[in-house]
Amino acid sequence: MHLDGGRRRGFFLTLEGPEGSGKSTQAQRLAARLTAAGLSCVVTREPGGTALGEAVRQILLHAPEPSPVPAADALLFSAARAQLAAEVIEPALARGEFVICDRFGDSTLAYQGFGAGQPLEDLRSLQRFAVGDLHPDLTVLIDLPVEAGLARKQADEITRFEERAGVEFHQRVRDGFLALAASEPERFVVVDGLGTADEIEESVFGALRSKAGVRLEVPSRTTAGSADASSFDRSEPDRNSLRMDR
Ligand code: TYD
């Protein structure tokens, strides 16, 4: 929950996971459901989401050899994040909107920290420098075995992280995400990324409902847009609203 002078603000949800976990698809699906419920929703991604961030993304994902050293990676991801937080996330939260971000600070800890060996303490300091005390209200980790995730990646989605990093790197990243989730169980929910997109969508939405104390009345995925929309919680009187009671 983000508080501003005692006033409630929007809700900040991040999606994290190793390669091929389907986060981007789930970000879109979740946004569609929340929008169908009449909520104002912003979907963004890292690295990217701003003009500066998209330019940094090009450098980061397609950097020529020799690859940036891990510290340079951490700084570049953090620069993009600082801009995204100031330009997109904070203003949307201040307007009371629901922000869904495809990757955030936990990716730096998992990839540059657990994966590439940068000290977690330094990365956490960098994170504070970049975004201050902006923290996700809820982080959904879509977890799946490394081989399964890498196999899902299409040729046009291959970045230098898949191209130049071995399976062992991605295994450390996955283990790192799971360790982060275990260390902050109140913020994280881990969902099984091996299911179908529909199954994962239900898990993500279930996590949002139960973990964040959010009560929503939202058309189900199959009936969205029809007059006969079903609801998640018919006992909830506050229709088409988002209530955050943490
Ligand atoms: P992208 O194509 O967006 O991958 P995905 O669809 O899996 O999110 O590329 C983002 C890549 O950047 C991905 O390999 C993870 C990596 N990354 C980091 O190493 N550190 C970070 O802080 C972030 C945000 C991403």
Q: Is residue 221 part of a domain?
A: no
pTM: 0.86
Q: Which atom of ligand 1 is nearest to the CA of 108?
A: 22
Query: How many domains in the chain?
Result: 1
79 Cβ below 6 A of ligand 1: no
Assign residue 94 the CATH number of its domain. 3.40.50.300
Distance set, CA 109 to CA 26, 71, 105, 175 (Å): 22, 12, 7, 11
Domain contains 160: yes
Ligand 1 atom with the smallest distance to the CA of 105 is 22
**Is 18 within a domain?**
yes
Are 160 and 62 in contact by the 8 Å Cβ rule? The answer is yes
| C-alpha 161 to ligand 1 mean position (Å) | 8
Provide the domain limits for residue 71: 11-25+41-195
Domain assignment of residue 183, yes or no: yes
Which helix or strand (DSSP H or E) is residue 78 part of? Answer: helix 70-84
Q: Given pLDDT bands bounded at 50, 70 and 90, which one contains residue 165? A: confident
Establish if 228 belongs to a structural domain.
Answer: no
Give the residue, out of 69, 103, 123, with the most ligand 1 atoms within 8 A of its beta carbon, to mutate for a pocket test: 103
Q: How far does the centroid of ligand 1 lie from the alpha carbon of residue 221, in Å? A: 27
Does residue 123 belong to any structural domain of this protein?
yes
- Please tell me the predicted confidence (pLDDT) of residue 9: 85
pLDDT in tens, 12-45: 999 999 988 999 999 999 999 999 989 999 999 9
* Position 149 in a domain: yes
3-state SS of 82-145 is: HHHHHHHHHHHHHCCCEEEEECCHHHHHHHHHHHCCCCHHHHHHHHHHHHCCCCCCEEEEEECC
Instruction: Answer yes or no: is 59 within a domain.
Output: yes
pLDDT tier at 67 (50, 70, 90 boundaries)? confident
Atom of ligand 1 nearest to the CA of 115: 19
User: 159 C-alpha to center of ligand 1: Å?
Assistant: 9
Q: Which atom of ligand 1 is nearest to the CA of 81?
A: 24
Question: 168-213: per-residue pLDDT in tens?
Answer: 999 999 999 999 999 999 999 999 999 999 999 999 999 998 876 6
77 lines ligand 1 (CB under 6 A): yes
pLDDT band at 159 (very low <50, low <70, confident <90, very high): confident
25 in contact with ligand 1, CB cutoff 6 A: no
